[in-house]
Amino acid sequence: MNRLRISVTLLAQLLVFAGCARAEEPRVIPAAIVDETKPMPGTTEVAVVSGGCFWGMQGLFEHVKGVREVVAGYSGGSAASAQYETVSGGATGHAESVKITFDPAAISYGRILRVFLSVAHDPTELNRQGPDSGSQYRSEIFFANPAQEKIAKTYVAQLGAAHVFNQPIVTRVDRLGGFYAAEGYHQDYLLHNPDSPYIVNNDLPKIANLKRLYPEFYRDAPVRLASAWR
């Protein structure tokens, strides 16, 4: 019995390793052909996306020029189930997400998605990212209006048709039903815990890749979350 348990454990570890080995490497991807934005001076826009643990997603986009604020939270389910302990069970419909408030005169929605689909996460992994698995870690774009819907759907189709990635893109594109901020201890987690082994191994490389692959989008000093969200 003990040998059976050991064998099953080793098999599971090998399968996880094999899945990780097939993960797409971060790379520069083509810009969105359709990126229709007509920003009004002094206005901001919001993008909501999910792609794995929200710690790294928030930390990465806080280093993107033109981004004003990034909040970690939950999207895809109801307000009643938007708590970490419940969402972690994987049955709420929620995905760990980030709400990115940005200046569309400084960075377009299409460029936000370009960062999201290249260095923020692997858009070819289904219901997992790195060591985290479950539908709450799925790849998804939540559009807030028809313009965002057109840009997101066209961009995903564009990259798929060009075979930019070795594997098919599994990123979902759905209407934003609601965004619910995560608990305070999750906010700015990367900034507060830069030496955490999880952060060092999984999230700091994303920021390094942003700087390396898209220096024109990178800023060294991250925007910090307003104290009201903590």
Taking alpha carbons only, the member of 33, 58, 71 closest to residue 121 is: 58
Residues 6+ apart with CB under 8 A from 38: none
Q: Are 111 and 152 in contact (CB under 8 A)?
A: no
181-186 CB contacts, 8 Å cutoff, 24+ apart: 181/71, 181/72, 181/73, 181/99, 181/229, 182/54, 182/71, 182/72, 182/73, 182/74, 182/84, 182/96, 183/83, 183/84, 184/229, 184/230, 186/54, 186/55, 186/72, 186/84
The strand pair at 139-143 and 172-175 is best described as parallel
Q: What angle do CA 143, 49, 25 make, to 5 degrees?
A: 130
Which positions are catalytic?
A: 53
> Reduced to 3 states, what is the DSSP secondary structure of residue 110?
helix
